[in-house]
Amino acid sequence: MIYQQLINGLMLGASYSLIAIGYTLIFGVLNLLYFAHGEVFMVGAFVGLYLVVYGGANIYVALAGAAIACAALGIVAFYVSVRPVPKDRPLAPLISTIGLTIVLQNLAVYIFGGQQVAFPETIRQELYHVGPVTISSVQIFILVVAVAAMGGLWLFIERTKLGRAIRATAENHETAALLGVDVNRVVLVTFVIGSGIAGIAGVLDGVKNSGISPFMGLGAAVKGLVVMLLGGLGNVVGAMVGGLMLGLIEILSAAYIGTTERDLFSFLILILILLYRPTGLFGTRTAE
């Protein structure tokens, strides 16, 4: 029973991690609470759905397509809601990304309708029994994709020149620029990567829940924020671990305490972290 819950918790947490990565990357380099990220996740799910239903694509093509489409959306989002807004007013970029959230959500309602849409079965459901644990092919697929995406991102951030530039920019804008980092390009790259990963998360969410709706973004956005904070603002590895932790906490509290209390726990954790460890569990830097 407990092992089964652990698996479920990791499943839930993996999607939280993928969303939080984008938040924390963007927060890291821009110090900006980018509100529209949850809607990018939602758009990813719908792109995946369309590719499968109308394009006849298999799930791998759908994942790649959603990642590319969301990366492109990330660039558009940056140029319409972040770049043109003056940065010296802390709330203006937040408001403009809220505007973008409203536009994307209602565009989706306009195009796809306000109801939940069934996500087609793309992976044959098979159950494997390993000792006391039952794990399905869908669960294995989601975990593998999520781990692969996170591992790839980690290698990129830690081992490549561009990854180092991102870390430098997150540390300090001015210093990075002085050392020859093209800060504008770095910011754009973080939007591309964060949005692409959110797109993958959206498709995985469709596969897992077998249904998606234009309103799925807001809840995901809020959970992504909690995870970002849990891992420490701007800390990518923290977001990955924090997501898995939140998933485990939610599933375990739902299983042993009650389903309605599940959300209560995640927000109580949010508040406790804010009050006692505002740098997150693994974070080192603080935001102004």
Partner 1 sequence: MLHDLFDGYTRSILVFTGVNVLAAYSFYLPFKTGQVSLGQAGFMAIGAYASAVLTQKFGVPFAAALPVAAVVAGMMGVLVGFPALRIKGIYLLLLTLGFAEIVQVITLSWDFVGGAQGFRQIPFIPSILEYVVALIIVLVLFFARLERSSLGRAMDAVHQDETAAEVMGLDVVRIKLLAFGLGAAIAGLAGALYAHHATYIDSNSFNIMVGVEILMFVIIGGSSTYWGPLLGAGFLTLLPEFLRTLRDWLELVPVAWTDFFPMNRVYDFLHDALDFENAKRLIVYGIIIMVMMILRPDGLLTRDSLRRLTMPRGA
Region near partner 1 per CB under 8 A, out of 122-130, 198-206, 241-249, 263-271: 263-271
Q: Which residues pair with 128 in a beta bridge?
A: 135
Q: Is 261 in the site for partner 1 (CB under 8 A)?
A: yes
Q: Which residues pair with 127 in a beta bridge?
A: 136
- Contacts to partner 1 from residues 162-181, by CB under 8 A: none
Q: Is 26 in the site for partner 1 (CB under 8 A)?
A: no
The residue among 37 and 142 lying less far from partner 1, judged by its C-beta, is 37
The residue among 182 and 263 lying less far from partner 1, judged by its C-beta, is 263
For residues 197 to 226, the per-residue mask of contacts with partner 1, x marking binding by CB under 8 A and - elsewhere, is ---------------------x---x--xx
- Contacts to partner 1 from residues 87-146, by CB under 8 A: 89-96, 98-107, 109-110, 114
Residues across the chain: 288
In the complex, what is the shortest distance from the CB of residue 163 to partner 1, in angstroms, rounded to a whole number? 24
Q: Is 85 in the site for partner 1 (CB under 8 A)?
A: yes
Q: Is 267 in the site for partner 1 (CB under 8 A)?
A: yes
Residues with Cβ within 8 Å of 79's Cβ and at least 6 positions away in sequence, in order, are none
Residues with Cβ within 8 Å of 187's Cβ and at least 6 positions away in sequence, in order, are 29, 30, 78, 169
Q: Is 268 in the site for partner 1 (CB under 8 A)?
A: yes
Residue with tokens 């809607």: 39
Q: Is 284 in the site for partner 1 (CB under 8 A)?
A: no
CA angle 87, 280, 203 (to 5 degrees): 75
Is 196:67 a contact under the CB 8 Å cutoff? Answer: yes
Among 55, 134, 271, 284, binds partner 1 (CB under 8 A): 271
Q: Which amino acid is at 108?
A: A
- The Cβ of residue 77 has, within 10 Å, a number of other Cβ atoms equal to 25
In the complex, what is the shortest distance from the CB of residue 180 to partner 1, in angstroms, rounded to a whole number? 29
| Whole-number Å distance between alpha carbons of 7 and 247 | 10
CA-based nearest residue to 43, from 245, 220, 166, 172: 220
Q: Is 229 in the site for partner 1 (CB under 8 A)?
A: yes
Q: Which residues pair with 130 in a beta bridge?
A: 133
In the complex, what is the shortest distance from the CB of residue 236 to partner 1, in angstroms, rounded to a whole number? 17
Q: Return the structure tokens found at 171.
A: 């540390």
Interface with partner 1 (CB under 8 A)? 27, 33, 35, 80-81, 84-86, 89-96, 98-107, 109-110, 114, 218, 222, 225-226, 229, 233, 260-261, 263-264, 267-268, 270-271, 274-275, 278, 287-288
